[in-house]
Amino acid sequence: MGKFSQTERDGHLFIVTIDRPEVMNALHPPGNAELAGVFDEFAADPELWVAIVTGNGRAFSAGNDLKYQAAGGDRSGQPAAGFGGLTSRYDLNKPVIAAVNGIAMGGGFEIALACDIIVASENAVFALPEVRVGLAALAGGVHRLPRTIGTKQALGMILTGRRVSAAEGQQLGFVNEVVPEGQAVEGARRWATQILEASPMSVRASKQAVLQGLEMAGVEAASAGRYPAVAEMVASEDFIEGPRAFAEKRTPNWKGR
C-alpha cells in the first residue's frame, strides 16, 4: 500500500485505487509520481494483463490539487508519465479500465480519457473546468476528448467547463457503460473478465494498432503500418494456441507470450 494509492492483484487483474479521499482524490506531484511507479509495475509485470483504476470514497478524482499548488507546494516531482501516471504514458499496450465512482473533474477526467474503457456509476460527473480557473486541460483532455466524441461536442465541454452526467457521457460516446451507484468497480471487473478471456497478445496488438493507426492519415496508411505488438503476437505461443484450442473445441490456455 502506498501513501496516496492502494493496489490489489487478482490473478492477471491489477486494481489501482487513488487514495486521497480527504481532497476528493485530487492529485499533486507526489501522488502523480507514486501512481507513475504503480503503472510502471503494471507495465513491467508479465503476469498482469489488465488494470482497473478507481478512486476511494465519493470521487474518482477531482483533478489537480489546486490548494496544494496555491499554497506553494513542491511541484518538482511531476512524473514524465503525466497526471495520475497515465496521461502521458503513450507506450502502454495493456488495457486499462476506468471505474468512475463519482466526480471526475479536470485531471481526473483526463485520467479516465487516457484509459481504454470507462465504466461510470450513475452518480458520476465529468468536466474539464480548467478554463474557469485560468488554466487549460493540457494533460491530454483538449486532444483526447475531440478524438473521442468529435470536435463540436468536445468544444462544448472544454470552452464552458460544464458538467456532464454519466448518462450524457454515454450518449456523447466517452462512457462505455453506466452502472448503479456503488457498482463502478464491479462493472469494470465484468469488462476485465471479458478481456481476460481473450489472448493478451492479441489484446495488446489490437490496442497498439488502433491507437497508433489513429495517428496516420487514412485507413490505407494505418493498415500498412508496422506495429511491434502485432509482430510479437504472431511470434507468440498464443498465436498457435488459439487456433488449436478452437479446433479441439476447448478453452484456450493463454500464456501471454
Catalytic residues: 110, 130
Q: Which residue, 109, 130, 90, 121, is CA-closest to 215?
A: 90
- Tell me the three state secondary structure of residue 53: strand
The sign one gets for the Cα dihedral 35, 38, 43, 44 is positive
**Do 176 and 203 touch, CB atoms closer than 8 A?**
no
Q: Which residue, 191, 151, 188, 148, is CA-closest to 170?
A: 148
Q: What is the DSSP letter of 251?
A: -
**Do 107 and 45 touch, CB atoms closer than 8 A?**
no
Q: What is the DSSP letter of 63?
A: -
What is the identity of the amino acid at 67? K
State how far the Cα of 99 lies from the Cα of 117, in Å rounded to an integer: 9
**Do 16 and 52 touch, CB atoms closer than 8 A?**
yes
Q: Sheet containing 50-55: which strands, arranged edge to edge?
A: 5-10, 13-18, 50-55, 96-100, 117-121, 177-179
